[in-house]
Structure 1
Amino acid sequence: MTVSLIIATYNWPEALLLVLKSIENQSVLPNEILIADDGSREETKNLISAFSKKSKLNVIHIWHEDQGFRLAKIRNKAIVNAKFEYIIQVDGDVILHKNYIKDHIKNAKKNSFLTGPRVLLSKETTITTLKNETIFFNPFSKKIKNRFNAVYFPLVNYFIDSKTEPIEKLIFKVRGCNMSFWRNDLLEVNGYDEQFTTWGREDSEIASRLIKKGVGLKKLRLAGIQYHLHHNEQDKNNIGQNNAILDKNKSTSSFWCENGIVKENK
């Protein structure tokens, strides 16, 4: 299987560096890394350039101008530019377990997509992690939250099947920072809905359309682990607006997104 790893980032190069270092440490490497950059300043570009010169990883920087929150749009650009059959998607503030990519590959099946767990690092641990450029954690690491998510026992996933219904129970179980898909499935639902221009629900919305298409969702357990750096909470003032977009799209029978990768009537 060939893999494109997409990393979403915005103006946090120190965190992005740790993500990249954790990818270098993977037991199975991706065929390419696409950094989906939602308009970061020059510091991020410089970090990516410096890292690429030293690393054997194939890193591609996908950038557009900062015009506010356009995560859906920059992810769509990365999907279009991805060259390989399977896409693993993470955020630029997570450190990956050494078998993260291996776990997603092992559990990938046709007509299914995956979402995995995350371990939350405390503010104090995050400060130390950034300072020391730490990329190694375990269930006994100090000051981590939801510690059970750090337990690694991937064999349990052989007994878990993907599910296609009911949508209401499944779509809120996904985490956009830890998902993987077949690229063709993403193209056939037309990628992310670019109506989402503030934080929240874009991951649930694309999950609902994949499920409507008949693509099952499998939630990884005790595998596909990532450690999430602490940061201030996103602005949720517009979550009602995003819920309305999600509810409207869920109410239709179509799994095609009109405002996605392909723009209809535009």
Structure 2
Amino acid sequence: MKFSLIICTYMRPGSILRLLNSVKSQDVYPNEILVIDGSIDNNTENLLKARKILNLKYYKVENEQRGLTKQRNIGVELVNKQNEIICFLDDDIVLKPNYFKQIISTFNQFPDAIGVGGAIINEAVWKELDENKSKDFKYYYRDGYYRDLGARNVLRKIFGLLSCKPPGIMPKYSNGFSIGFYPPNGKTHQVEYFMGGVSGYKRSLFEKISFSEYFDGYGLYEDMEFCLRASRIGKLLLNTGAQCFHLHDKAGRPDYFKYGKMVVENGWIVWKLKYPNPDIKSILKWNAIVILLSLIRIKNGIINREKGALRDAFGRFFAWIKLPFKKPDYFYQKRKSEVTLPS
């Protein structure tokens, strides 16, 4: 299968160069690489033009075109129409050499799959399970492996607010397990959502839907929103053998208050997208999780002196208090927007 790679970037020249160096080492190389740059300076452009990277095409967008979902939609419009698969990578990702080989082989193995996600392997430590060892409350167990559940999930477990669904499947009160809760053992799983920054889709999907430009700028939950709509059209798979590293780059991220607001508001959107009319029990659980996670952020700020944690918490509470009176206008916007290409 021929495939295109789209990398959307903003003010991260060092990160994107590191990513492209890992792309060079791939067992299977993209037929086309499109860099859609929203930077307000020319550092990324100058860096890439000074290097010869096979099949690379660079596009600089204007101010009104800037933002992750807008830049992705522009990239989709610009890809070679002969390529069957469109892959997306965040600019702070580093790939293992067989990443694309695993993604493309999954599409070949499962012809009915419309999207395939990869696995980030540096954000959790998995250990093989000793069958003679009793299970611990603070660990998460799956497929013969276990990992730390994490402090916030342990608290949710204590209060009966932890998801009973497999990772990548949203429970009725939302707040499910991310796909990082699948061990990186090479297995493939059917899911409802995965991380859009390490993903690939059939190009034909974009004839029906596009990325929602409601999620302006940095975005949050925009990948889950897109995946939930895509999963109504075809099968989404996670291949834990398509492995990479996420080397978090804080450059280009919003302030903590705005981030906290987005956690609640955008989280509400994806919940309502999946479950438009949740029952009372699910509503109570969703709200309880918002309060619990906000209180944890307050604790992080006061006791742990974590930078920005209090502003994050205040943003969450602000959005939560506002929700009953003013809902996000996401559901009033068109799903498929017209795309203006960079000049």
Q: Fold conserved (TM > 0.5)?
A: yes
| Residue 121 of structure 1: how far off its partner (Å) | 7.5
Give 1:201's aligned residue: 221
Is the Cα–Cα contact under 8 Å of residues 120 and 230 in structure 1 kept in the other structure? no
Is the Cα–Cα contact under 8 Å of residues 119 and 184 in structure 2 kept in the other structure? no
Structure of larger gyration radius: 2
Equivalent residue in structure 2 for 1:212, among 219, 222, 232:
232
| Residue 259 of structure 1: how far off its partner (Å) | 4.1
Is the Cα–Cα contact under 8 Å of residues 34 and 59 in structure 2 kept in the other structure? yes
User: Structure 1 vs Structure 2: percent identity of aligned residues?
Assistant: 27
Give 2:112's aligned residue: 111
Give 2:334's aligned residue: 258
| 1:1-266 superposed matches below 5 A | 1-51=1-51, 54-55=52-53, 57-66=54-63, 70-83=67-80, 84-108=83-107, 109-112=110-113, 113-120=115-122, 154=186, 156-157=187-188, 160=189, 162=190, 170-171=192-193, 174-189=194-209, 191-197=210-216, 198-213=218-233, 215-221=234-240, 223-232=241-250, 234-235=253-254, 236-239=259-262, 240-250=264-274, 258-262=334-338
SS for the counterpart of 1:195 is coil
Amino acid at match of 2:212: D
Distance verdict in 2 for CA 1:68–1:246, change over 3 Å: farther
TM-score by length of 2: 0.57
Q: Report Cα offsets for 1:16-65 as digits up to 9, x if no partner.
A: 111111111111111000112233420011112112xx23x111123212
SS for the counterpart of 1:115 is strand
Q: Distance in 1 between matches of 2:103 and 2:239?
A: 8
Q: Distance in 2 between matches of 1:4 and 1:205?
A: 22
Amino acid at match of 1:60: K
Distance verdict in 2 for CA 1:81–1:259, change over 3 Å: same
| Residue 93 of structure 1: how far off its partner (Å) | 0.7
SS for the counterpart of 2:57 is strand
Q: Report Cα offsets for 1:108-158 as digits up to 9, x if no partner.
A: 133321112113389xxxxxxxxxxxxxxxxxxxxxxxxx99x9764x44x
Give 1:130's aligned residue: none
Q: Distance in 1 between matches of 2:59 and 2:273?
A: 28
Give me the CA root mean square deviation: 2.8
Structure 2: segments with no counterpart, 5+ residues: 125-179, 277-332
| Residue 195 of structure 1: how far off its partner (Å) | 0.6
Is the Cα–Cα contact under 8 Å of residues 23 and 96 in structure 1 kept in the other structure? yes
SS for the counterpart of 2:232 is helix
Q: Report Cα offsets for 1:213-253 as digits up to 9, x if no partner.
A: 2x1111111x111111133394423322323433454457x
TM-score by length of 1: 0.72
Q: Distance in 2 between matches of 1:153 and 1:87?
A: 25
Q: Distance in 2 between matches of 1:2 and 1:18?
A: 24
Larger relative contact order (Cα-Cα within 8 Å, sequence gap ≥ 6): 1
Amino acid at match of 2:260: N
Q: Distance in 1 between matches of 2:40 and 2:98?
A: 29
Is the Cα–Cα contact under 8 Å of residues 15 and 249 in structure 2 kept in the other structure? no
